[in-house]
Each structure stands twice: as structure tokens, then as C-alpha cells.
Amino acid sequence: MSTDLMPNRYRPGETVLPARESQLIARRDGVLGASYRLQYRRPVHFVRGEGMWLYDPDGRAYLDFYNNVPSLGHCHPEVTAAMAEQASQISANTRYLEPRLVDYAERLVETFPNEIDRVVFTCTGSESNDLALRVARYASGNEGVIVSSYAYHGTSAAVAEVSPNLGDAVKLSPNVRMIALPGPEGVPDDQAADFFEAQIRSAIQDLNRRGIGVAALLIDSIFSSDGVWVDPPGFIAGGVAAVREGGGLFIADEVQPGFGRTGDHMWGFERHGVVPDLVTLGKPMGNGYPIGAVVGRQGPMELFGAIARYSNTFAGNTVGIATADAVLTILKRDRILQNALATGQYLRAGLEQMAKQHDGIRAIRNAGLFLGVDMAREGTPAAGRRGMALDVVNAMRDDGVLISTTGANEDTLKVRPPLVCQTEHADLFLASLERALVKVAG
């Protein structure tokens, strides 16, 4: 794993920038904390967004193929109107009776399997995962958490210590066990389920031996930070069963794959034919407005609620609920999932055709509108592969198309456009990628 916490970033002195941007960066550096990073070698400066597009101060349009926060596109007019209308009336919290909160909660749980019928609102995915871990530990009586090798689950202290993706400087909890995934390990599909289950059982055995026990298996069901490892469907089922046998809960982190991104299903875990105990939601839930949730089975939720109180001033506020309600309405009404599936298939077909012409494309993986494209110059060892992917990403940025990288070596293109992406946008992306591959190869 790279020791660089954000390989695709601006590094002062490496790039000459226009005075407007360099002066703004100097002002940022003079007042903001040092933990911030600017993405891309040449930072992007945006003043507005609309649909699939972002615009810089000069009016240049950039095609956004990376941002899953505005899942319905930037500044969706119907979502924005719902937000503004509610903000003009009242923004209250969950300690007061408010029917829209209950209406939305009922609508949301209807999108889940019947076993999942309770919801607690948060503001972010990090808060959702933090709360889910608390519930799992109360319900199980154990402390151990199993995560994938390069997982990212958020920024609070509790979830940072279960997020190996944050780098060596962020210490993992002694109660965490990391497991390898079959895809990155080169395990054939017909052996993937057995491999995954064996990893889980080994982790549980170690946790039990040390008197820790397993509280939860916490995974992003599309394994986005590990490099977008989506197949084969169902390979996690045996591992989930093993965790439950050990007394733990299965937490599905749906911040990345949820709300229809995979196309086939509303929730990423559904591809694997399993029903979680707890599901965590975040970013796309409010199309950019900060709202999240933990949705789960009644049993663990009631165990937690009987002995602990969770109240959050802004979680479930009426503006956030109105915004999320509009998002859910549009997802269902406008057949967004079907569009994600069809456009994802179109993109994959275009990438597969391109791979026949460019040796640098090593593999393509996707579920709906979440794609991982492995990149490497011929003969490059694994440790040096990220160079090509980063070169491609920055060439496309200069061409007006935004993507990023992911995976253990940052050698996978992370392609994750808003779910309103159409074939004409896909064609623009593919054309830009083609130009970038030619440029990088030269």
C-alpha cells in the first residue's frame, strides 16, 4: 500500500499555476489546517455545477465522472427546490413530532428486505459507521471488527481505526482484523467464496483466542477502496454466515454502492444474496446535502436503544429529510436504477473495445455505474503501476473530464459518474480516455 495519503494531489513547486489559483492556494495555506489536500496535479477551481457538469470561473465545462455525492447530478432542480422550500418553513430536529420524518423513514425501509425495518438518522457516512459499530458491540457483547485490507469507512476516531486505507500513520485498533479479498489475490471465481470464508474464520479464531470476540464484519459491498472488486456475486455469503455463527453482526457500508449505483439493485449487498443486520448510508442520500442513516433489524436496534441514547442535533432535521425524500422520489419515478444498469453496460462495452487497442488496460470491473479499470505499462512491477493510472487521470483532467484512482497501488481508475449519466456522456468519457491513453503512451 502506498505511504502517500493522496497520490493524485497538487504538490507545490511541481506545477506552474495561473496567478488567480496560486494566490487562492496561498490564502488557503495561510488559514486552513494542514490536513487538507487539493486533488489533481493542477487543482480544479469550480464556481457552479449543473447535472453532469462543473464549471470553472472562465466558463469552461468539466464532465464529472467521479462524484457520487450528487447522485442525481449537480444542483438537481427538484431536489434543490425541496431543500429551499423546507428551509423557508422550519428546520427542526427529531425530538419534536414531525410527520415528514416518519413518512420518509417508512418509505426508506420499504426499499430494504423485510427483516430490516428500523432507521436512525445521522449526518454523514462516518457517523453512520460509528453508530453501527456501537450498536454491534452492544448487541454482540464483543469488540472485534473485521474489515478488508484497504477499507475506508470514515473519519471519526472510531471508524478511522477500522480504515486501513488512511495509511500507516493512522493506527488501527488492536481489535481490528484485516482480510484479503479473492480478486486482488488472484483467486479464481469458483474458489472466491471459500477463500473469503476461510479469511473470515481465521480472523474470528484469532479474535476469540485473544479474548476479544467478533462484534462485526464491516464491508463496503463493492469494495471500492480495495479497487472495485464486485464479482463473483454471492462470494461474501459464507463469510457473513461465519460471523453470525461467531456471535457478530454483518454491517453493510452502502455509502458507495447504495441508492441504485449498481443498477441491478437498490443496495449493493443485494447482489450477494445476503441480508445485513445493519446498513449504513451517507453521501448520495441527500444529493449533496449532509444526511445519513443506519438502517437495521429491530433486535440489535432495540438492544442498543434500551441501554443507550443516541440524539444528534442535525441528524434527521426537517430540511435534510425533505431533501432525501425528493431524492428517493426521483430515483423511483425516473427509473434511475435502470439507467445506471444500461449506461454501465454501455460504458463497459466501450472500455472492452478500447482494451483491444491499448495494452495498458489490464482489467475492467463494474456493477452498474461503478467501474474499476486496472492500468499498467507493459512490464511494470506492481509497486510502480500507479504511475500510469495517475498520468491518465491528470491527462483527462486537463481534457475536461474528472475521474480518480483507487486500489492498493492506486493503479485502478475509479469511474463513478452521477446516476443520471447518459450514453452521450459515456461517449465523451471514452473519447477523452482514448486521448489520454495515446498521450500517456507517447
Contacts of 163 (CB under 8 A, 6+ apart): 147, 151, 152, 153, 154, 170
Output the pLDDT for position 12: 83
Kind and range of the H or E run holding 313: none
| 325 and 407 co-located in one domain | no
| 311 and 366 co-located in one domain | no
Model confidence over 284-336: pLDDT tens digits?
A: 999 999 999 999 999 999 999 998 888 888 999 999 999 999 999 999 999 99
Distances (CA, A) of 308 to 134, 172, 314, 374: 10, 25, 19, 45
What does the DSSP 8-state code read for residue 287?
B
Question: pTM for the whole thing?
Answer: 0.94
| 183 and 154 co-located in one domain | yes
Task: Print the domain residue range for 421.
Answer: 44-75+336-441
Residue that the C-alpha cell 459491498 belongs to: 221
Model confidence over 136-152: pLDDT tens digits?
A: 999 999 999 999 999 99
81 domain residue, yes or no: yes
Residue that the C-alpha cell 436504477 belongs to: 337
Half-sphere exposure of 390 toward its Cβ, with a 13 Å CA cutoff? 17
Give the C-alpha separation, 309 to 298, whole Å: 16
| 323 and 354 co-located in one domain | no
Number of domains in the chain: 2
Got the DSSP string for 332-351?
HHTTHHHHHHHHHHHHHHHH
Output the pLDDT for position 309: 85
Output the pLDDT for position 68: 86
Q: Is the pLDDT of residue 5 over 70?
A: no
Once rounded to an integer, what is the mean pLDDT over residues 257-278? 96
Least confident stretch, 10-14, 180-184, 209-213:
10-14
Last residue of a domain, one of 333, 359, 393: 333
358 domain residue, yes or no: yes
CB-based contact 111:332 (threshold 8 Å): no
Q: Is the pLDDT of residue 383 over 60?
A: no
| 115 and 202 co-located in one domain | yes
Output the pLDDT for position 384: 54
Contacts of 430 (CB under 8 A, 6+ apart): 347, 350, 351, 354
Give the C-alpha separation, 29 to 35, whole Å: 10
11 domain residue, yes or no: no
| 267 and 174 co-located in one domain | yes
| 398 and 411 co-located in one domain | yes
- CATH number of 365's domain: 3.90.1150.10
Last residue of a domain, one of 333, 349, 381: 333
What does the DSSP 8-state code read for residue 286?
G
228 domain residue, yes or no: yes
| 274 and 353 co-located in one domain | no
Percent of the chain with pLDDT over 70: 97
Last residue of a domain, one of 296, 318, 333: 333
28 domain residue, yes or no: no
Q: Is the pLDDT of residue 220 over 50?
A: yes
Task: Extract the C-alpha cell encoding 104.
Answer: 420518509
Once rounded to an integer, what is the mean pLDDT over residues 220-237? 95
Output the pLDDT for position 381: 64
| 114 and 95 co-located in one domain | yes
23 domain residue, yes or no: no
| 369 and 308 co-located in one domain | no
Model confidence over 395-417: pLDDT tens digits?
A: 999 999 999 999 988 999 999 99
Contacts of 23 (CB under 8 A, 6+ apart): none
Q: What are phi and psi of 326, to 5 degrees?
A: -65, -40
| 54 and 186 co-located in one domain | no
Task: Extract the C-alpha cell encoding 239.
Answer: 463469510
- CATH number of 178's domain: 3.40.640.10
What does the DSSP 8-state code read for residue 323?
H
Amino acid at 405: T
247 domain residue, yes or no: yes
| 133 and 67 co-located in one domain | no
Once rounded to an integer, what is the mean pLDDT over residues 28-52? 90
Output the pLDDT for position 1: 42
Once rounded to an integer, what is the mean pLDDT over residues 420-427? 98
4 domain residue, yes or no: no
Q: Is the pLDDT of residue 13 over 80?
A: no
